[in-house]
């Protein structure tokens, strides 16, 4: 489900089971992340699916990428795998005006 930046961030703050998922490449990840994000690169194909299968499907996932296209695709894949709560950040990190930090190496 595509949701606005405000709804997306509010959800990450209000849900105890919220997981922020960054589906960009490692190079993009290293340019800066939304605080608390976990990275699983959607371009890993079967590796991406395998990594998703390891996640807790009962949690609430807030997914983003650079512009919102890959994360929308990721949410669709997650829904097919049985995730009921996967929310896409419209506009991705390019339009994000919330906090961005450098990932810890």
Query: pLDDT of 55-98, one tens digit each?
Result: 999 999 999 999 999 999 999 999 999 999 999 999 999 999 99
Asked whether residue 104 is domain-assigned, the answer is no
Asked whether residue 45 is domain-assigned, the answer is yes
Asked whether residue 21 is domain-assigned, the answer is yes
- Number of domain units in the chain: 1
Asked whether residue 15 is domain-assigned, the answer is yes
Half-sphere exposure of 26 (CA within 13 A, CB side): 3
Asked whether residue 25 is domain-assigned, the answer is yes
What's the DSSP call for residue 66?
S
Could you give the CA distance from residue 93 to residue 80 in angstroms, rounded to a whole number? 24
Tens digit of each residue's pLDDT (9 = 90 or more) over 14-68? 999 999 999 999 999 999 999 999 999 999 999 999 999 999 999 999 999 999 9
CATH code, domain carrying 39: 3.40.250.10
Domain range for 89 is 2-95
Asked whether residue 64 is domain-assigned, the answer is yes
Model-level pTM?
Answer: 0.96
Asked whether residue 105 is domain-assigned, the answer is no
């Amino acid at each position: 489900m595509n949701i606005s930046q405000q709804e997306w961030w509010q959800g990450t703050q209000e849900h105890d089971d919220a997981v922020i998922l960054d589906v960009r490449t490692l190079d993009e990840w290293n340019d800066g992340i939304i605080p608390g994000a976990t990275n699983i690169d959607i371009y890993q194909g079967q590796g991406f699916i395998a990594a998703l299968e390891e996640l807790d499907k009962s949690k609430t996932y807030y997914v983003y990428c650079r512009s919102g296209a890959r994360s929308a695709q990721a949410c669709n894949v997650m829904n097919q795998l049985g995730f009921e709560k996967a929310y896409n950040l419209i506009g991705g990190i390019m339009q994000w005006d919330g906090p961005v930090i450098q990932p810890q190496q």
